[in-house]
Structure 1
Amino acid sequence: MHNYVLTVTCKSTRGIVAAISRYLAEQGCNIIDSSQFDDLETGLFFIRVSFISEEDVSREVLEKGFAPIAETFGMEAAIHDASERMKVLLMVSRFGHCLNDLLYRWKIGALPIDIV
């Protein structure tokens, strides 16, 4: 089983979540976490879906199969392998305690990222 994360940005419209969940279910995937947000000012929709490929479908196959859905909704979509550490840039405006907290979590392994 592989863990993946799907991120999507597109114009907000009806049926996006249904299309995503239907596709993942058809591919033998199980959603383990999902967060979504509608920005009413811009009319944009954002979603991050963590899922497990219970049938060990590769990321390339998932991306290729998802392409028609992304095209239908005009999505900017990406599927990331959850085992690959993301490169992150940290920026702090004023208060150091937020930076200290992030760096502490990173140091103890609670944030599986590479700070560049």
Structure 2
Amino acid sequence: MTDRAFILTLTCVDQPGIVSAVTTELASIGANIAESNQYWDRQTGQFFMRIAFTVNSDKTGEEINRALKPALDRFEIKAALTDRSRKPRLIIMVSKFDHALLHLLYQVKVGWLNAEVVAIVSNHEDSRATAELEGVPYHYWKATKDNKPELDEKLLNLVRETDADLVILARYMQVLSDTISKRLYGKVINIHHSFLPSFKGAKPYHQAYERGVKLIGATAHYVTPDLDEGPIIEQETERVTHAMTAEDFVAAGRDVESRVLARAVKSHVEARVMLNGHKTVVFG
């Protein structure tokens, strides 16, 4: 009999006995723990935990949740169970710059990113050929200042129709509405071409160039109604010099953006990211 893989994530007020109670219940159903991480945020008093485990394939998610219920109720734990046999479903949104999109598609193709791209959305036609080559449905939605409510409805419908788990803004150069940011909170990741909180908004590499910085970077974060203020998942920097032009900064930044976004998406689909107020807990 083959095993099924699951990931359990949980959070609650920190107190003695949580790990013991949860792992004891898992042991009672024959679970084999493959990976366990925990973190106590002393400032907020919150406890976070991620457990990857396997069980016999005859065990269902409902049975696992039922077995865990006494421990979850006892410590007032908020928990989520992820079945690893189901590939997370991704919607990628892109404008003209397609480097981050291409990198994600490649990482899915080679299996480093265990997910399925179910749609590509763009406000330009530039990436249609890429979508057709990959066999991914392509949705061209012209964006204007007057049709935001229409695009909101289209995106929410697409998420429902495709049963998507995550929306990725892979250099999608349109600001999502407050409605979308709130409705899909924790399910939309953006790559910002700057090392936040510095150089927000348009042309951050040019801003960095004008300031003569020696490091540029990229930031992947969850989208919130506050522009470029969402909880940060992943960041990376790249050294630059006075001899480089603004265009050199942009070129160096493209590589960083692609890597940072891919790592953030991987962490999310593997249930390694847990929201902690305005911050995140990211288990490696």
Partners of 1:56 and 1:33 lie apart in 2 by 21
Asked if the contact 1:30–1:54 (Cα under 8 Å) also holds between the matched residues in 2, the reply is: no
2:62 aligned counterpart, secondary structure: helix
Q: Given residue 71 of structure 1, which amino acid in structure 2 is its aligned partner?
A: D
Q: Deviations over 1:17-74 (max 9, x none)?
A: 1111111111111101111111111111111101111373211111112122111101
Q: Given residue 6 of structure 1, which amino acid in structure 2 is its aligned partner?
A: L
The one of 55, 59, 62 equivalent to 1:60 is 62
State, as a whole percentage, how many aligned pairs show the same letter.
Answer: 34
**TM-score (structure 1 length as normaliser):** 0.79
| Matching residue of 2:78 | 76
Q: Given residue 31 of structure 1, which amino acid in structure 2 is its aligned partner?
A: I
The one of 50, 53, 57 equivalent to 1:51 is 53
| Matching residue of 1:85 | 87
Partners of 2:6 and 2:42 lie apart in 1 by 28
Bigger shift: residues 42-51 or 61-70: 61-70
1:8 aligned counterpart, secondary structure: strand
**TM-score (structure 2 length as normaliser):** 0.35
| Matching residue of 1:13 | 15
Q: Relative contact order (C-alpha < 8 Å, sep 6+): which is higher?
A: 1
1:17 aligned counterpart, secondary structure: helix
2:22 aligned counterpart, secondary structure: helix
Residue 29 (1) aligns with residue 31 (2): yes
Asked if the contact 1:30–1:52 (Cα under 8 Å) also holds between the matched residues in 2, the reply is: yes
Rate the CA distance shift 1:40–1:19 in 2: closer, same or farther, 3 A.
same
Partners of 2:115 and 2:8 lie apart in 1 by 17
Q: Deviations over 1:90-110 (max 9, x none)?
A: 9xxxxxx9x58x725344321
Bigger shift: residues 46-55 or 5-14: 46-55
Quick check: which one's strand share is greater?
A: 1
| Matching residue of 2:4 | 2
Q: What do you get for the CA RMSD once the two structures are aligned?
A: 2.7
2:40 aligned counterpart, secondary structure: strand
Q: 5+ unaligned residues in a row in structure 2: which ranges?
A: 93-98, 118-166, 168-284
Q: Given residue 40 of structure 1, which amino acid in structure 2 is its aligned partner?
A: R
Rate the CA distance shift 1:37–1:114 in 2: closer, same or farther, 3 A.
farther
Q: Given residue 15 of structure 2, which amino acid in structure 1 is its aligned partner?
A: T
Q: 5+ unaligned residues in a row in structure 1: which ranges?
A: 91-96
Rate the CA distance shift 1:55–1:22 in 2: closer, same or farther, 3 A.
farther
Partners of 1:36 and 1:85 lie apart in 2 by 25
Asked if the contact 1:28–1:55 (Cα under 8 Å) also holds between the matched residues in 2, the reply is: no
Q: Given residue 67 of structure 2, which amino acid in structure 1 is its aligned partner?
A: G
